[in-house]
Structure 1
Amino acid sequence: MDSVLTTVGLPIALAIIMFGLGLSLTADDFRRLRQAPVAVVVALGCQLLLLPAICFGLVVLLDLSPLLGIGMMLLAASPGGTSANLFSHLFRGDVALNVTLTAINTLISIVSLPLITGLTIRYFDRQDSVELPLVEVVQVIAIVLVPVAIGMLVRSRRPAFARRMDRPVRIGSAVILAVLVIAIVVDQRENITEYLGKVGLATAVFCALSLTIGYFVPRLFGVGDRQAIASSMEIGVHNATLAIYVAVEILDEVEISIPAAVYSLFMFAFAALWGRYISRDLARQTA
């Protein structure tokens, strides 16, 4: 898959998505931890600790191949995507909490993503064929942080422009992800049926668990309904584009990107169905 699409298009696409994320952020979003500490801490705990542990359990239980197993853990380590905010808005979630979680988790993922991925590579003893060198880690940090910082700067200087661009950027992000998934499917068309058979169950179960755990665990800690919905969408709707970028451009293995691509096929459908169910339940309770 070493083509213009991956070497030029993929980094640009990811930069546009992260710029769009920056357009939705302000400095206050990073300070909201003090206003809703329980909701933020519980959601981040699910995202950073519980979900990777569950994902690793699925990888071992389903006996996935090393590259697909690495891809699953890379996906689990990826932060929430920009679409999480949209789903949260559609289904009566606390969008402000989503924005805060995305902002904080994106920063934390600069450390957690290489750490979790590196440990998985060592577990499968694939250091000889799959590397995550320091220079490439710095490259990931740059392509995540720089566009976000520029987007936040534009938001602070041109708030009207940021508001106008919010919807187009969200739609564009979804289109970009769709194009990437199609490109991976086309590139791996000879093996796609085999991959779906091997990783389809794992990604579907992981997606369903991510959404439900993201809702019920915060509720166990006394978090309100709207904040629990926001947490569910944040944890269930991953930044699959970032996972695909790291797999294809940093680890140089298209097969590692397969779980993120397949997860994307389930992600939007599951999030829509789950969001419809829990928002209806919330509406009934309110009535």
Structure 2
Amino acid sequence: MITEILLPLALAFIMFAMGLTLRPGDFALVFTRPKAMALGLLAQMVGLPAVAVAVIWLFRLPPDFAVGLLILAACPGGITSNLLTHLAGGATALAVSLTAITSVAGAVSVPFLVNLALVQVGGQGGTTDLPVARMTIGVFAIATLPLIVAMIVNAKAPQGAARLEKLARPVATALFALIVAGAFVSQWRVMWEHAADVLPPALAVNAGALAVAWGIGRLGRLERRERLAVILEAGLQNGALGIFIAATLLASPAMMVPSIVYALVMNVTALAIIAWVRIGRKEKGGVSPAFPE
């Protein structure tokens, strides 16, 4: 009942709450800041999965954990990424736009990458046994559709959406924490027995994603606020969606372990980045250095 009903409903509400902060105009950044958007999408949708593949090869992860890590890497940005970007002094509009695009595109990109992982890493030799249609429909219905509906509500009634968002965001954040905590408790024994197998790779993927995003932003000569937004978007994933895919769509508790661990790791590193930026801002007399040149 939990994974089949409560988890999908909670995730749908989280995505709806996220959508209340988005407007169709957020996609205009694709045209007004095309380089920043392109580099952000490159870091999020190409760089992160590439890092995950490299980590899987380096650590020789068991198939279930390897697929679970790739599921997490395929997911779009998390619900807290925009808020943490704002707190860090990053380009919030860019972060919001990246979240919107990756979340909408996730209806196609996530099932594609996950099924590719099942075939190439999970040891399933053919696509006939894979839940391609079910996964595509599930991701769209639970993650993408609520986001689109909320965006329409925001476009039609922005004042009402703003009031609703003030109530929905803390509930959504609490639901995200409950999903991660509940999954953590349910898989405590597996994580305890395989801590050495999962924690170092999760840390490596997170650190690698942050480093790749920083490198892309640096080479692309993004201004510091944009670079910070790209870094946080690449490092903060929608762990709740990863748990939903593994537990509900694939019925594999082992595959959701990497999403649980990563959800804990990513928030620690994100808070460390924010602390670093704020300390640097104070030392510079209120001018945020974001990240070193």
User: Fold-level match, TM-score > 0.5?
Assistant: yes
Instruction: Tell me: CA distance 1:282–1:44, structure 2 relative to 1, closer, same or farther (3 Å).
Output: farther
- Greater shift, 158-167 or 113-122, is seen at 158-167
User: What does residue 43 of structure 2 align with?
Assistant: 46
3-state SS, counterpart of residue 210 of structure 1:
helix
Contact residue 211 and residue 271 of structure 1 kept, 8 A: no
CA RMSD of aligned residues (A): 2.0
Distance 2:164 2:222 in 1: 32
1:119-198 correspondence to structure 2 within 5 Å: 119-124=116-121, 125-126=123-124, 131-198=130-197
Percent same amino acid at aligned positions? 29
Letter in 2 for 1:56: V
Q: Which structure 2 residue ranges, 5 or more long, are not aligned?
A: 289-293
The aligned counterpart of 1:22 is 19
CA contact (8 A) 1:195 1:258 kept: no
**In the alignment, which of 66, 69, 72 is matched to residue 72 of structure 1?**
69
Contact 2:79/2:173 (8 A) holds in 1: no
Secondary structure at the residue paired with 1:64?
coil
In 1: Cα distance, 2:278 partner to 2:164 partner? 27
Provide structure 1 residue ranges, at least 5 long, that are not aligned to the other structure: none
Structure 2: how far apart are the matches of 1:221 and 1:282?
A: 23
CA distance in 2, matches of 1:37, 1:100: 11
- SS of the equivalent of 1:137 reads helix
Q: Once superposed, which parts of structure 1, at least 4 consecutive aligned residues long, lie more than 4 Å away? A: 127-130
- Between the aligned partners of 1:22 and 1:192, the Cα distance in structure 2 is 33
Output the CA distance in 1 between the equivalents of 2:88 and 2:203: 21
Q: Secondary structure at the match of 1:258?
A: helix
Q: Is contact 1:24–1:155 with CA below 8 Å preserved after alignment?
A: yes
Task: Give distance in 2, aligned partners of 1:82 and 1:189.
Answer: 24
Q: 1:61 aligns with which of 51, 55, 58?
A: 58
1:166 deviation in Å? Answer: 3.2
- Equivalent residue for 2:274? 275
Residue 208 to residue 167, structure 1, CA distance change in 2 (3 Å) = farther
CA positional deviation for 1:152: 1.1
Moved more, 243-252 or 141-150: 141-150
Alignment correspondent of 1:214:
213
Give the length in aligned residue pairs.
284
Cα distance in 1, alignment partners of residues 214 and 36 from structure 2:
11
Provide the TM-score with structure 2 as the length reference.
Answer: 0.90
- So what's the TM-score if we normalise by structure 1? 0.92
